[in-house]
Structure 1
C-alpha cells in the first residue's frame, strides 16, 4: 500500500533548489510550477544545462525571473556532441550574471551513451573552463568513481571554487574524496526511496555543512509523490528526509543547507 500523500510543507526559512531541469517539465504550465515553487518558500532555483541543444534555453530561462539562475555545460550522455564551437559558447556565457556554474559535466559508465574516452576528454575540457572562469562545477558521476577521482585530482590545485557532485549515488570512496577536498554532495528524492539505504549511508557520513538540496526534477520524485512528474516545489520533502536520516533538527538542516548553497553558488550574498 502506497504512503498517503500529504500537503507539501512550507518552512519559515527559505530554501534553495540547486538542481532541476525547468525545460524538461511537461505536466503543467511553467508559470504554474514557478508560482507553486515560490509558494513553498523556495528563494532561488538553478536550472541545469546538459546538451548543446539546451544551452541557450537555459540562459533564456534564467532571465524570466530574478530568482531563477542557470548553468552552462554538457552532460556525459552528450559528450560526443561537444565541439570547439560548443566550448566557445560555454566559455562566452559561463561568466554571465545569471549563470552560476559550469555543469552538468562528468562521467556516466552506467548508460555509456558516449565513448568513455570522449567523456573523459570532455570532462577535463569543461573543468578547465571552470578554472579559467572561476566558476564552481556541477558534476554527474555514475559507475565511474575511480575515473572521477582521478580526473578531479588533476584539477585539485586550480579548481578553487569546487562545487557539487549532484544526485550522489556513488560509493563511500568518492564521497570521502569529495568531502576531503571541500566539495558538497547533492541529495534529492532518492533519499526517500525504500531501497536507497546506500544513499542514506552517505547522507549520514556527510557533514551537514557539505550537503545541498536538489530535486533533479522532472526525475526522481520523492515519496510521497512518486509516480508524478517531479518539480522544484517537492524540495521540502528532501529537506525533511535529510533531517530524519541525520537525526538533526529540521531547522538546522534547512538553515545550513541554505548557507551551503549560497557559499557554493552565490558567494557574494
Structure 2
C-alpha cells in the first residue's frame, strides 16, 4: 500500500473489489467520476445493487455504460410487498445480462417491517429459487430476523446456494451458521463506528477467507468521513481497519478479500 495524495484515504496497489453499493442512489458527483476516484485508490471492480422493481432496469443501464461496473437483480425485503410473478420474471430476464453477477439484495428485515413478514419470506424464497435456476450467488440483507433467515436457508441446504450476508450486524450464532453453510460475510464502515463492538467481534471471529469488503454507499460512511455521503472510493478505509483488527497487513487483506470476491462473483 502506498501513500495517498487524497487526505486520509490510503491507496492500495493490491486491487480491491467493492462488493456492495448503490450508485444510482448517490447524490454527489456522477457515476463516471465516482468510479474514476475509486480506481485511483485501488478499487478495481464495483458491484452496484438492485433493491426494488423500480431500479432493476436502472442497474442494467448503469452496468452497460461503465467499464469495471457490475450489478445485481433482486428485490429488498423493504419492497417485498411489490414482489409478484411478473417481477420475478423481470429478475430472471435481467439475471441473464453478462455483467449481472448475483441475485440481490434479498432477505428479511424485521427491524423496520416495511413489508409484511409473510410477504418478505415468500419473496426471499422465490428469489432463492431464481438464484439456483440461473446459478448465481445471492446478496442477502437480514436484520432482526436471525431465526427465520436460518430456517429458510435450512430449507435450501444442500442445493448449492452461495453468496454473502452483506453489512453483517447480526448475532454471532447467525454468523457461525452462515459460515458453516459456506456463505461469506460482508463488512463495511460500521466496523469503524464507536458503538459497533458486536460487529467487530463477529469480524474478528470470521476467517478472512469468508470476508468480503463493501461500502453500502451512499450509506454507512466510515470514520473519519462520517456525515459525508459514502462512496466506493472510501473502501480502502474499510480494508485498512480490517487489517488492523485482524493484525494482518493491508496488502494481505486486499489480496484475500479480492480473491474471495472474484471466486464468488467473477468465477473463471
Compute the TM-score of the two structures, normalised by the length of structure 2: 0.96
Matched with 2:173 is 173
Matched with 1:58 is 59
- Equivalents in 2 of 1:161, 1:144: separation in Å? 19
Contact in 2 for aligned 1:161/1:264 (Cα 8 Å): no
Matched, 1:253 2:250: no
Matched with 2:205 is 205
Q: CA deviation at 1:66?
A: 2.4
Compute the TM-score of the two structures, normalised by the length of structure 1: 0.96
- Structure 2 counterparts to residues 119-138 of structure 1, below 5 A: 119-138=120-139
Contact in 2 for aligned 1:215/1:232 (Cα 8 Å): yes
Give the length in aligned residue pairs: 263
Matched with 1:231 is 231
Matched with 1:18 is 19
Q: Which moved more, 1:214-223 or 1:61-70?
A: 61-70
Q: CA deviation at 1:203?
A: 0.5
Contact in 2 for aligned 1:6/1:224 (Cα 8 Å): no
Contiguous gaps of at least 5 residues in structure 2? 1-5
- Equivalents in 1 of 2:32, 2:95: separation in Å? 26
Matched with 1:91 is 92
Matched with 2:37 is 36
- Equivalents in 1 of 2:117, 2:262: separation in Å? 33
Contact in 1 for aligned 2:190/2:222 (Cα 8 Å): yes
- Equivalents in 1 of 2:79, 2:110: separation in Å? 13
Provide the aligned C-alpha RMSD in A.
Answer: 1.0
Q: Which moved more, 1:106-115 or 1:91-100?
A: 91-100
Contiguous gaps of at least 5 residues in structure 1? none
Q: CA deviation at 1:161?
A: 4.6
- Equivalents in 1 of 2:221, 2:67: separation in Å? 26
Contact in 1 for aligned 2:49/2:72 (Cα 8 Å): yes
Local SS of the residue matching 1:175: helix
Matched with 1:140 is 141
Matched with 1:105 is 106
